[in-house]
Amino acid sequence: METRSARRRRLSNSHHQTGVDYISHLPDAVLHHILTLLPIKTVAQSATLSSRWRSLWFTLPDLDFSNSIFNSNSNSNSNSNPADIIAGILNARDHKHSNVRLLRFSATLSFSRLNALFRIAVRHKIQHLHIQVSTNDYFNFPRGIIASDSLRVFSLRSIYPGFRLPPSSIMSSGFRLLSSLSLALMILDRPSLVDLFTDSSFPLLKKLNLESCSGLMNLRVQCPVLQDFSLEGCFQLQGLDVLGGKLERVRICSCFDAHGSSWVKIVAPNLKTLVWIYNAVTDEVNLGDLKSLNQASLGLLCQHFSNTKLHSVSALLSAISPAHSLTFEPSFLDVLSSNNYFACYLPAFNNVRCLELKTVSKKHNCSVVANIFRSCPVLHTLTIKIVDAPSNGRKDWRKEKWEKIVSEEEHFWETQIEPLESFRLHLKIVRMEGFMECFNEVSLTHFLLKYGTSLQELSIFTNKTNHRDSLKRRAIKSLIMGFSRASPHVKLRYC
């Protein structure tokens, strides 16, 4: 009977005798997919293996140079300039029968070399073009790329110093087939560009991302099939008008002039996700009826709130009230903490099943957190992420110190038993991340365990600590694990 080792030797010898190269016999499409997972330099080196691998290299549809042979310190006058290397690789292919689908690179270039690469990309009918570039001076947006009839996805991110768009009459004449557009660090100093992103200019655009737009005071976006819109780093913005019947996701981050008057209007009846973080509060907020909203994230800049801006925050909160999942950033909790107005006018989030609070462990946040809990009567899953903690937030956890100070925290949550009745009856899962062993956190944990009658799981994840704090941590863990529990089925984890 043949042993296992003898069988392995026989199969090994058989393989060497036949000399079959199974990898090379795979279809081109499969090998192209495998090669796209490797660094572009490694793929180019494989062309020396055989004529088959050389053919694979010259027909590779996706060319990604972003993390390979180039770096941000490339000298534009060097013989190994990134633009010259990319141009040489593309020019080695027959542009009449080119199958290049994607070109992506990041480099420091002169405008002339960058413009030359744009012309080559148009000649090879590239469909997806992603460029991250740094130049010696401001440059004008290459007009040649506008007329491309093959481009579907285009991303131009200027690291330094930025670029200017041509007049809207030229921009609107191209990009007729573009489905995704991303522009970063551009100068919008022409008033005519305010109405650039409309159905007449981008009839097929589904995704639009604009970042760090200098000089952008007002913007109107009304693309008929737009589904995803993102605007970030536009601090001079005063007016935003977005209209989209098919719009599903909107992300507005770090926008609006905090010192002047500003307004926002969004009409998107099918909107499913709204991210509104680190924005200055506008004087007017009109978000329409967001009846399809599923997820919303909210964070506001702390500033002086006039009555007008307080009403704008209320309008914003009311607009996102249909959401099923909410995320509140630390800055938003600070806004609620600094204004007693929201203790009375916080709307009810009757559909919210998942809530994520990103907070700093502060004593004055207790009442705000309780108000948010009261506004979420059918909450199922609660996630609390403690992103930071002041140095004075830690307490002395000796038993006599605990008994002296904890009474105030415990008393506050005891007063919330009746107002939070619906919240306590529906809450099933709690997850605390970044646990800092402060009184606020421990007292909240005690309250949830003691009165959470439907609680099924409570997980506490602490920050890393040094050996000096290990004894204190074990004492706190022992304290929490010994808390009474209203739900006999709750699983308590502390790690």
Decide if 124 contacts 98 (C-beta within 8 A).
Answer: yes
Neighbours of 414 (CB within 10 A): 13
pLDDT at residue number 17: 53
Using the predicted structure, report yes or no on whether residue 22 has a pLDDT greater than 80. no
How does residue 296 score in pLDDT terms, banded at 50, 70 and 90?
Answer: very high
pLDDT at residue number 245: 93
**pLDDT digits 0-9 by tens, 27-40:** 999 999 999 999 99
pLDDT at residue number 76: 42
What mean pLDDT is predicted for residues 9-22?
Answer: 61
pLDDT at residue number 260: 81
pTM of the model: 0.86
List helix spans (H) across 215-286.
none
pLDDT at residue number 292: 95
**Domain segments of the chain as ranges:** 348-362+376-388+404-494
Q: What mean pLDDT, rounded, does the chain reach?
A: 85
Write the CA distances from 150 to 123, 134, 436, integer angstroms: 10, 25, 54
Highest mean pLDDT among 99-103, 130-134, 249-253: 249-253
pLDDT at residue number 440: 81
| CA end-to-end distance (rounded Å), the chain | 55
What mean pLDDT is predicted for residues 150-164?
Answer: 89
DSSP code per residue over 135-173: -SS-EEPPGGGGG-SS--EEEEEEEES-EEPPPHHHHTT
DSSP 494: E
pLDDT at residue number 140: 84
Strand partners, 139: 163
Single-letter amino acid code for the residue at 7: R
pLDDT at residue number 166: 82
pLDDT at residue number 170: 79
Using the predicted structure, report yes or no on whether residue 419 has a pLDDT greater than 60. yes
How does residue 184 score in pLDDT terms, banded at 50, 70 and 90?
Answer: very high
Q: Of residues 247 and 462, which shows the higher confidence score?
A: 247
| Percentage of residues in the chain having pLDDT higher than 70 | 86
pLDDT at residue number 401: 55
Decide if 148 contacts 176 (C-beta within 8 A).
Answer: no
| Dihedral over alpha carbons 451, 376, 367, 481 (to 10 degrees) | 30
Decide if 264 contacts 280 (C-beta within 8 A).
Answer: no
pLDDT at residue number 392: 42
Q: Cα(250)–Cα(183) distance, rounded to whole angstroms?
A: 16
What mean pLDDT is predicted for residues 404-415?
Answer: 76
Decide if 325 contacts 295 (C-beta within 8 A).
Answer: yes
Q: Determine the Cα angle at 352 with ends 351 and 353, to 5°.
A: 110
Neighbours of 242 (CB within 10 A): 25
Q: Can you tell me which residue has the tokens 């604009």?
A: 210
Q: Which residues 6+ apart lie within 8 Å of 352 measured at CB?
A: 323, 324, 325, 326, 376, 378, 379
**pLDDT digits 0-9 by tens, 342-376:** 666 789 999 999 999 998 765 567 888 999 999 99
The closest alpha carbon to 336, from 313, 360, 311, belongs to 313
Using the predicted structure, report yes or no on whether residue 255 has a pLDDT greater than 50. yes
pLDDT at residue number 399: 54
Residue ranges with strand state E in 150-294? 153-160, 163-164, 180-187, 197-198, 207-214, 218-222, 228-232, 239-243, 249-253, 263-267, 273-279, 284-286
pLDDT at residue number 77: 46
Using the predicted structure, report yes or no on whether residue 436 has a pLDDT greater than 60. yes
Residue 16 has which token pair? Answer: 């060497």
| Chain center to CA of 384 | 19
Using the predicted structure, report yes or no on whether residue 468 has a pLDDT greater than 80. no
pLDDT at residue number 78: 46
Q: Of residues 451 and 3, which shows the higher confidence score?
A: 451
Using the predicted structure, report yes or no on whether residue 494 has a pLDDT greater than 80. yes
